[in-house]
Amino acid sequence: MEINLSIDPELVRKILTEFIRSEITRVGFSRAVINLSGGIDSAVSFVLATEALGPQNVLAIRLPFKTSSGDSLEHAQMLIDQFGCPSVTIPITEMVDPLIAREPGMPEIRKGNIMARARMIVAYDQSEAFKGLVIGTGNKTEILLGYTTLYGDSACSLNPIGDLYKTQVRQLARALGIPEPIIAKPPSADLWAGQTDEGELGFTYEEVDKLLFLLVDQRYRPEECVEAGFDEKFVRQVFERIRKNQFKRVLPPIAKLSSRTIGYDFLYLRDWGT
């Protein structure tokens, strides 16, 4: 069993910047917008976009909520200053609070989803205003685990880092010159105070990336992962998470009635004709 999650950052950087440039310019755009959370994933997508399109063509959006950590805002600003791109800061508190106030005692998960979707609304509004496509920031680990809000932070026009595990995103971040405090801090959705990804998931990215690499990339059966030394409960939990979250990774199914149905036998790439 070999678990090799190392990447050559320059190779990945080359492919991903070309990808962003190709997929944006071929449909007649030259600009992009991106929600900068202050975390490592959006930092990496952001830097790749500035390299692909030029910093003047990338709008960085900061979307603080009243309970967001001050670090998040500061770290996003560090990137904006370092790469010299246009930016806007639009607090989402006034958008989100009235909805949350309708139901006293609303669970954190619902509040978090509302915030993620409010940020999506702003990103797509700025997309129209700036005439730039929305760059996604979801990595392979969180997409597989479904650790994302459907139509919230998962919504985007294109996603450059969705085939990189979190631990691989960290390798790329170093090569891109992203400030160390952003790389080193514990990953967090920052939807409520003290929230961390690893705390909420119950395992570390280091551990789960190795398991996902075997299950997904190397096509190991769950029992083979256990034989390879992973805890059985952990393997079962992760496998179930992947399965249960498939709905977040596909378009909603359309009920087939006609002889040609979108999604089943009406098959074209998005890049059709370009």
Partner 1 sequence: MKLNLALAQINTELGNIQANLEKHLTLVKQACQDGMDLLVFPELSLTGYVLQDLVPVVSCRPESDDPFFQQLLDASRNIDLVVGFVDEDSRHRFFIASAYLSQGEVVHVHHKVYLPTYGLFDEGRFFAPGDSVRAFDTRFGRFGMLICEDFWHASPPYILWQDGADVLLFSSASPGRGLNGEPKLESSTWVEHINRAYASLFTIFVAHTNRSGFEDGLNFWGGSTVFDPNGTLIAQAPYFEEALTKTEIDLNQLHRTRARLPLLRDERPELVQRELERILHK
Query: What's the closest the beta carbon of residue 109 comes to partner 1, in angstroms?
Result: 30
Cα separation, 66 vs 97, whole angstroms: 10
User: What is each CA distance from 128 to 3, 46, 66, 124, 217, in whole angstroms?
Assistant: 43, 18, 26, 6, 37
CB 32 within 8 A of CB 129: no
Q: With respect to partner 1, which residue has the nearer C-beta, 233 or 272?
A: 272
Q: With respect to partner 1, which residue has the nearer C-beta, 20 or 182?
A: 20
Query: What's the closest the beta carbon of residue 224 comes to partner 1, in angstroms?
Result: 20
First-to-last C-alpha distance (Å) of the chain: 42
Residues 213, 161, 167: CA angle, nearest 5 degrees: 45
Running DSSP on this structure, what letter comes out for residue 104? T
Q: With respect to partner 1, which residue has the nearer C-beta, 184 or 268?
A: 268
Query: What's the closest the beta carbon of residue 257 comes to partner 1, in angstroms?
Result: 19
Q: With respect to partner 1, which residue has the nearer C-beta, 184 or 267?
A: 267
Query: What's the closest the beta carbon of residue 40 comes to partner 1, in angstroms?
Result: 18
Pairing outcome for strands 132-134 and 87-89: unpaired
**Alpha helices per DSSP H over the chain:** 9-25, 40-53, 70-83, 93-101, 108-130, 140-145, 166-175, 180-184, 197-201, 205-212, 222-227, 232-244
Query: What's the closest the beta carbon of residue 124 comes to partner 1, in angstroms?
Result: 21
Q: With respect to partner 1, which residue has the nearer C-beta, 92 or 208?
A: 208
Q: With respect to partner 1, which residue has the nearer C-beta, 94 or 265?
A: 265
Q: With respect to partner 1, which residue has the nearer C-beta, 236 or 270?
A: 270
Query: What's the closest the beta carbon of residue 197 comes to partner 1, in angstroms?
Result: 23
Pick from 42, 22, 20: nearest CA to 32: 20
Query: What's the closest the beta carbon of residue 92 comes to partner 1, in angstroms?
Result: 30
Cα separation, 181 vs 70, whole angstroms: 13
Here the tokens at position 270 are 């998005």
Interface residues with partner 1 (CB under 8 A) are: 4, 6-8, 10-12, 14-15, 18-19, 22-23, 163, 168, 265-274
List phi, psi (to 5°) of 106.
-60, 135
Residue type, 14: K
